[in-house]
């Protein structure tokens, strides 16, 4: 993202600056987490990268090319499950390949591989309503990863899950990421989650969002996202990043109290 700014018009007829001069880049295969106070503009940043919205100024490039609409090299996993309720697990996972014109038999065979990779063997014929939240999230992950996106955008994908399932899903996400190595932009409110997953953590300011500071996470891989939190290196990183994030969270909180 190069000097990306964006504002929205307010119902009162004014202008609300949401993003201001955002600059950051994600290397091929890099896992970047973005943290910032609530309402600062994190989701808006993602919508610029995925091409569902355009910046007022600045540019967004993927592989050196300006983003122009939703590209097939980009995959998404958001908080809400984007699975089709009327399709089975395997039918959901085969959606992308079928959409691209792959013959049904081949698409189902490939989907069966991904069913196994996300630990859902035996549940192929289940429908989403017959699965737990964590299982549905696995379907959503497989449904996206089967398309082997170059860029994977995740907006608080595990926010609705309980703490244990969330950690299991974090480890599973890292193993799946290792398989195809997309560049990831992962948005979260949870600084521990960000550090345990990412190669780099980007801290955003309270709105209008801009990049406040970036932190390299040099923790060894493969990682166990639960165990790594107890290491002194993790604790040190957490302290440093929280120092940068805390001020922004407080600004956002004070604003919300004043507005109320
Ligand atoms: N389409 C839109 N029209 C008008 N305002 C919008 C629009 N989209 C977002 N906003 C405003 O932009 C600001 C940033 O929203 P955004 O969802 O990007 O923040 P966020 O950091 O992802 O929030 P949270 O952490 O709570 O999920 C908010 O004040 C929101 O009301």
Atom of ligand 1 nearest to the CA of 9: 4
Nearest protein CA to atom 3 of ligand 1, as residue: 8
In the reported structure, the alpha carbon of residue 206 is separated from the centroid of ligand 1 by a whole-number distance in angstroms of 12
Closest residue to atom 18 of ligand 1, CA basis: 41
Domain 2-73+151-259 in CATH 3.40.50.300? The answer is yes
CA distances from 182 to 63, 99, 226 (A): 12, 21, 23
Q: Which of 78-87, 157-166, 195-204 has the highest mean pLDDT?
A: 195-204
Task: Tell me the per-residue pLDDT of 162-200, one tens digit each, with 9 for 90 and over.
Answer: 888 888 989 999 999 998 999 999 999 899 999 999 999
Asked if the model's pLDDT at residue 72 lies above 90, the reply is no
Q: What is the ipTM of this complex?
A: 0.94
Domain with CATH 3.40.50.300 in the chain: 2-73+151-259
Give the mean pLDDT of the chain: 92
Name every protein residue with a CB atom under 6 angstroms from any ligand 1 atom.
8, 16, 18, 36, 38-44, 207
What is the 3-class SS of 144-157, one letter each residue?
HHCCCCCEEEEECC
Residue 134 is predicted with a pLDDT of 86
Compute the distance between CA of residue 159 and CA of residue 134 in angstroms, rounded to an integer. Answer: 11
Count CB neighbours of 158 within 10 A. Answer: 24
For the CA of 187, the nearest atom of ligand 1: 22
Measure 110 CA to ligand 1 centroid, in angstroms: 37
Residue 53 CA: nearest ligand 1 atom is 1
**Range 194-211 average pLDDT:** 94
When computed from its CA atoms, the radius of gyration of the chain, rounded to whole angstroms, is: 19
Q: How much of the chain exceeds pLDDT 70, in percent?
A: 100
Higher pLDDT, 34 or 208: 34
In terms of DSSP bridges, do strands 74-78 and 2-9 run parallel, antiparallel, or are they unpaired? unpaired
**What are the distances in angstroms from CA 179 to CA 26, 28, 106, 118, 164?**
18, 14, 20, 12, 23
Mean pLDDT value across residues 42-64: 93
**Residue owning the nearest CA to atom 4 of ligand 1:** 8
d(CA 141, CA 139): 5
Contact 47, 36 (CB under 8 A): no
Of all residues in the chain, what percent carry a pLDDT higher than 90?
Answer: 73
* Per-residue pLDDT at 171: 94
How far, in Å, is the centroid of ligand 1 from the Cα of 43? Answer: 7
pLDDT band at 133 (very low <50, low <70, confident <90, very high): confident
The predicted pLDDT at position 260 comes to: 65
């Amino acid at each position: 993202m190069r000097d990306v700014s964006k504002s929205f018009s307010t119902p009162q007829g004014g202008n609300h600056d949401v993003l201001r001069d955002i600059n950051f880049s994600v290397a091929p295969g890099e896992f970047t987490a973005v943290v910032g106070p609530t309402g600062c503009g994190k989701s808006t940043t993602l919508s610029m990268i995925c091409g569902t919205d355009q910046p007022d100024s600045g540019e967004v490039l993927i592989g050196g090319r300006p983003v122009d609409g939703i590209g097939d090299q980009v995959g998404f996993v958001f908080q809400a499950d984007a699975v089709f309720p009327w399709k089975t697990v395997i039918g959901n996972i085969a959606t992308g390949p079928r959409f691209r014109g792959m013959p049904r038999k081949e698409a189902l065979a490939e989907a069966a591989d991904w069913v196994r990779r996300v630990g859902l063997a035996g549940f192929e014929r289940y429908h989403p309503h017959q699965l737990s939240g964590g299982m549905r999230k696995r379907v959503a992950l497989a449904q996206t990863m089967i398309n082997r996106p170059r860029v994977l955008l995740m907006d608080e994908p595990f926010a609705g899950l309980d703490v244990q399932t969330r950690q299991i899903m974090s480890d599973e996400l890292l193993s799946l990421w290792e398989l195809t190595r997309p560049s990831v932009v992962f948005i979260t409110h949870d600084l521990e989650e960000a550090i345990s997953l990412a190669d780099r953590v980007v801290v955003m300011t309270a709105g209008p969002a801009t990049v406040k500071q970036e932190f390299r996470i040099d923790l060894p891989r493969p990682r166990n996202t639960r165990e790594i939190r107890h290491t002194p290196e993790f604790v040190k990183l957490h302290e440093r990043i929280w120092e940068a994030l805390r001020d922004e969270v407080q600004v956002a909180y004070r604003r919300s109290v004043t507005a109320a």
